[in-house]
Amino acid sequence: MEDSKSLAAWQKSQQFIPGGVNSPVRNFSKVGSHPRFIARGAGSKIYDLDGNEYIDYVASWGPLVLGHAHPSVVEAVSSAAANGTSFGAPTTLETQLAETIVSAVPSIEQVRLVNSGTEATMTAIRVARGYTGRDKIIKIDGCYHGHVDYLLAKAGSGVATFGLSDSGGVPEDFARNTLTVPFNNPDAVREAIEANPDEIACLILEPIMGNMGIIPPQDGYLDELREITEAHGIVLIFDEVITGFRVAYGGAQSYYNVTPDMTCLGKIIGGGLPVGAYGGKRDIMRCVAPEGDVYQAGTLSGNPLAVTAGITTLKRLAEPGIYAQLESSAAALADGLAEATQRHGIDAWHSRVGSMLMLYFTPETVTDADGARTADTERFQQYFWGLIEGGVYVAPSQFEAGFVSLVHSEEDINKTVQAATQALANL
């Protein structure tokens, strides 16, 4: 496969950008090569500089549920741009997106728009601390909440891909108030709370782990977390940056019918432009400045282009039958992959919730981060290149989710299963 233009682009980018990329997991070093530089995307496909076409399951790491360059999004963003790209003053577009989010997401009575998921989680925790007057927080091993200093302990995504236990540059003092417990283990949460009575401000988690592959909550786990946190006055925060508007219009909290106190959003609500949001109960959100004393601000927060792309995307997702379509395309893909691993006698754990899916190369049943860590990353690397050769683009990491979008056709799914079957046969 021709890749000389991508290689040249990467050689140049490395001179000016660390690792040649603006986010570590985009670098292909963990699959032993250099990244493909993308020239353009259309629908379910992306095209690299060398003209190779791929069926894309990265979907910009989740946001592009409508596919690349969706005509309505492109048109809406173009006309918004013609009216000015940023004002640093309120627009009614922001209220429109906020109202849509409040009507869709059960836990959100008020919401603040920011520029990234990292900003959303960082601020939600600050608000929870301000609201409770407590300092300590509980996070889950393998959950990734962006690159916030004190949340990088035992994080997923790039931290897991690069085999780091946490990040350099974070003073021990910053992480002193972060307690980490395993996923799907409510007793571990109880123990952490008992050991730190009246000291825990919040428990933050991805209700479906999406940065360590895909790990769904076991039956009753989220309900138990809801009960425990409520009993101790601890703010329960769902990080739905990935799952929000992805597994259901109301996110994982409506899918599992468990309502947290606060929710963080990003990705899909920006329709492929930079955005984040945090929201929750009105009495908690009242702590945010200028109403309260918890400060958070941003020059480009609520940016008209990002907000317009978000509104246009959510409008489409609100149409009837959308989530059933995502479910049936993703189920067809997952079934095809499961059949292929079985046919070739390959140890694999297949995980899927709605249109998020993962194939782990492990004989284990993956229920937490330690289970995910048993996956054979060498095997993943070979599989990854088999897919690339077959014209299928997935994240260059065993620990990053795959996303099916509304534009993946039956033909795309069949071609993907064929490419995967060939890749598995060659392992």
Q: Is 45 a catalytic residue?
A: no
CB 46 within 8 Å of CB 393: yes
Catalytic residue (one of 131, 261, 267, 376): 267
Of the residues 56, 239, 368, 376, only one is catalytic, namely: 239
66, 164, 64, 157: which is closest to 396 by C-alpha?
Answer: 157
144 in catalytic set: yes
Contact flag: residue 56 with ligand HOZ (CB under 6 A): no
- What three-state secondary structure class fits 119? helix
- Candidates 11, 12, 23, 411; binder of ligand HOZ (CB under 6 A) is 23
Nearer to ligand HOZ, 211 or 367 (CB): 211
- How far, rounded to the nearest angstrom, does the alpha carbon of residue 58 sit from its chain's CA centroid? 11
- Residue 25 binds ligand HOZ (CB under 6 A): yes
Q: C-beta of 266: minimal distance to ligand HOZ in Å?
A: 10
Question: Do the beta carbons of residue 354 and residue 246 sit within 8 Å?
Answer: yes
Closest distance between ligand HOZ and the C-beta of residue 35, in Å? 10
In the bound state with ligand HOZ, the residue whose beta carbon lies nearer, of 269 and 340, is 269
CB atoms within 10 A of CB 15: 7
DSSP string, 187-233: HHHHHHHHHSTTTEEEEEE-SSB-SSS-BPPPTTHHHHHHHHHHHTT
CB of 121 to ligand HOZ, least distance (A): 12
Distances (CA, A) of 183 to 153, 163, 169, 375, 423: 14, 19, 26, 17, 32
Query: Binding string to ligand HOZ for residues 193 to 212, with x set by CB under 6 A, is what?
Result: ------------------x-
Give yes or no for residue 28 binding ligand HOZ (CB under 6 A): no
The residue (of 24 and 250) whose beta carbon lies closer to ligand HOZ is 24
- Please tell me whether residue 37 binds ligand HOZ under the rule CB under 6 A: no
Size of the site for ligand HOZ (CB under 6 A): 7
By the rule CB under 6 A, 18 interacts with ligand HOZ: no
- Using the rule CB under 6 A, is 376 a contact of ligand HOZ? no
5 is an active site residue = no
Q: Which is nearer to ligand HOZ, 26 or 30 (CB)?
A: 26
Q: Phi first, then psi: give them for residue 15, nearest 5 degrees.
A: -70, -30
Which segment (22-30, 49-57, 70-78, 319-327) binds ligand HOZ by CB under 6 A? 22-30
157 makes contact with ligand HOZ (CB under 6 A): yes
CB pairs under 8 A, 24+ apart, for 323-329? Answer: 323/248, 323/249, 323/354, 325/406, 326/65, 326/354, 326/355, 326/404, 326/405, 326/406, 327/354, 327/355, 329/355, 329/404, 329/408, 329/410, 329/413
Strands (E), 342-411: 349-353, 356-360, 392-393, 402-403
Piece of 6-14, 19-27, 108-116, 333-341 that binds ligand HOZ (CB under 6 A): 19-27
When binding is defined by CB under 6 A, the residue of 54, 61, 361, 385 that contacts ligand HOZ is 61
Token duo for residue 71: 């005509």
Q: Which of 6, 10, 20, 26 binds ligand HOZ (CB under 6 A)?
A: 26
Find, among 279, 276, 258, the residue nearest to 267 by Cα: 276
Region of 7-15, 21-29, 75-83, 121-129 interacting with ligand HOZ (CB under 6 A): 21-29
DSSP class of residue 257? Answer: T
CB-CB contact of 115 with 298 (8 Å): yes
400 contacts ligand HOZ (rule: CB under 6 A): yes
Nearer to ligand HOZ, 340 or 401 (CB): 401
Choose, from 57, 144, 150, 278, the residue flagged as catalytic: 144
Other CB atoms within a 10 A radius of the CB of residue 325 amount to: 14
Residues with a catalytic annotation lie at: 144, 239, 267
What are the residues binding ligand HOZ (CB under 6 A)? 23, 25-26, 61, 157, 211, 400
